[in-house]
Amino acid sequence: MEGENKSIIKIVVFGALDAGKTTFVETISGKKLLMKGEFERITNSFDFVQLDYDNYFIQLFATPGHRRFSFMWNTLAIGMDGAIFLIDSTVGISPVDKELMAFIKKHNVPYVVAINKDDLVHLSQENVREELEISDEVSVINTSSVTKQNLDLVMETLMMDITNTNNK
Ligand SMILES: Nc1nc2c(ncn2[C@@H]2O[C@H](COP(=O)(O)OP(=O)(O)OP(=O)(O)O)[C@@H](O)[C@H]2O)c(=O)[nH]1
Ligand SMILES: [Mg+2]
């Protein structure tokens, strides 16, 4: 069967409420999600889509941002190979962002920080790095999940980080 030799890479998108996680996953996949776990546009479980990417299938999940559903974060993080952390540039760095940053760092997997909604407000990468204490090896990229700005770059950068880590 075509693709039977492909490895599966699990990537999870985290971010505060309304940061644009569901939109990110939808836009980057360009197709209907296999799972879109939301009610009245608030994700309460998770989103899921599978992408064909070189020699890999990427299983891309997005988490709920609402605090009420934060119990899902641990479950979705199980077995992840990498993470994408979306910051909402129209809000700036919130306490939830600090909590999520600590959560992602604790999992010790490669991650990329996307400062989303760059089409609305531009937030400087330096400020975000400083506030969240992000090390120089981690990429921080300004994105828009609506205009598609840098979405492919985020995925390419993370896939490079993941495959380099796996080959070490
Ligand atoms: N202008 C602009 N709007 C965006 C962008 N990303 C998301 N949005 C809008 O922000 C709102 C929330 O987007 P969602 O993708 O549902 O956000 P979410 O992070 O999945 O929300 P929860 O899962 O409920 O936390 C929607 O109205 C989107 O159209 C972006 O990059 N630019
Ligand atoms: Mg969502």
Instruction: Extract the residue ranges of the chain whose pLDDT is less than 70.
Output: 1-3
Q: State which residues form the domain around 85.
A: 7-166
Does any domain span residue 45? yes
In angstroms, the CA 142 to CA 123 distance is 8
pTM above 0.85, yes or no: yes
Instruction: Look at the chain and report how many structural domains it folds into.
Output: 1
Contact 112, 158 (CB under 8 A): yes
Does any domain span residue 1? no
**C-beta 91 within 6 A of ligand 1:** no
- Looking up residue 85, the CATH number of its domain turns out to be 3.40.50.300
Q: Which atom of ligand 1 lies at the shortest distance from residue 42's CA?
A: 24
Contact 62, 34 (CB under 8 A): no
